[in-house]
Structure 1
Amino acid sequence: MLYRRLGRTELEVSELAYGAARGASQDPHGFIATVHACIDAGINFIDSAAGYDGGNSERTLGEALAGQDDVLVETKYCPYESYRVGAAYVGDPAELVASAEESLRRLRRDHLDVFLAHGMRTLESLDRFMSDGCYEAMLGLREQGKVRFIGISELSEGDGTHEVLKQAVPSGAFDVVMLTINLMLQTAEETVIPLCGAHDVGTVVMMPLNQSSGRSGLTSLPAALELVRHYIAAGQLPDEPPY
């Protein structure tokens, strides 16, 4: 396994991480076995969120990581009513702190390595997050040692041109960002990634396989071509191949 420095955090993380969003409830033994197989392969960075699988992702991950204190864990608090595009922003500092503390209990840890605001999708909600006490609550958790590093993840379905991250990264407010790069969404490589490099912000890529070909609609060649045309029209793919 190869490892890289995660921006100014100075954490040395494996180039491949494990996204623990699914499977904990359906097959907890398989979930735990997968986590152990990842660790055996040299993966030392695992992503979860308070809302994944009703908290069972974190809960089962905590069981899987018993005695594995050297594995780095990233988890998230969602300041929206749901993960849906268009969901109302409902960020609340007290709820953010409570979410982080619940995550610590479920994960059986005394600190979170990386703590993100989950699915930030509009500049308006980013501005509210920075001014309504939520960001200060994040800083407070970091000062208390409950969180080592803070950041945000985007919601590419609602912000395909990464406007939120293009504003957040240069602000200096965040240590880490989580963004989408895959076959159907490549614009971050020319926009957000250079900004992160310039400002020494750690980057974590999500949905590299677009959460499976079935979700992407790649069930046939005509369907794939139609999807490619859609993303080109949306400005998320270049006009000319190679993609």
Structure 2
Amino acid sequence: GKTITDDEEGDEEDEYLPHGAKIIKELVCPWWGSDRIVCADSYFASVVTAVKLKRIGLRFIGVVKSATRRYPMAYLSQLEMTSRGEWKGLVTDRISDGSCDLMAFVWVDRDRRYFISTASNLNRGWSPVCYRWRQVDTSPDADPERVEINIAQPVAAEVYYSCCAMIDRHNRSRQDTLMLERKLGTWDWSTRVNLSIFGIIVVGTWLAYSQCTGIGKSAGREEKQKDFYSALAEELVDNQYDSVGSRKVGR
């Protein structure tokens, strides 16, 4: 009979993985076996993803929304939680198809957020501080006041949002500063996809440039994103990338 190698067996297993689990497994391939923590949003997060990454030597924390297979969503959604900053969870040390520590928990911010994790814990973590305008004085024509709000969160949620904050920063730079989608409106889906990919590359270039050069007040000069984008556009418009060089060959 035919002998199946480990690689072939792994490929056969991958055929039955959810699409998000397949993609994230390929994206983190260079870090297999490093025991790093991978944080991902609901497109990738599922129990299957957490287990699969654990088997290749990576830990995982993700937000679960629609991929609820084998996730205790029914139980967690019925738990009584009355205020922001509360959390409750479940932990298992064995699952049916292999040994893997799994933690499912719900944390309340404005609404309930559900997580699956093979890393960190549910101890109290750092409480982020935010400021909101609130109508503290209820007398007529009273001005709203700016109040400080502390929302408790578990360590696992702290780890997750410390990573996702960089994703939000990247999205804000692409949508609010570069604004390709607003400047170049289109109804063609392929153009929209290409613009989004191009915007991601441009913002990534800005972040790499700012980190490598150390621009900012600490370096004695401050360069804004818009200035960088303008200079980059000038270089891209007036370039010699497509020109073919020629040289004389002596005889």
Whichever of the two has the greater Rg, that structure is: 2
- State the TM bucket, normalised to the shorter chain: 0.3 to 0.5
Question: Could you tell me the TM-score, scaled by structure 2's length?
Answer: 0.32
**Larger RCO (CA within 8 A; separation ≥ 6):** 1
Question: Could you tell me the TM-score, scaled by structure 1's length?
Answer: 0.33
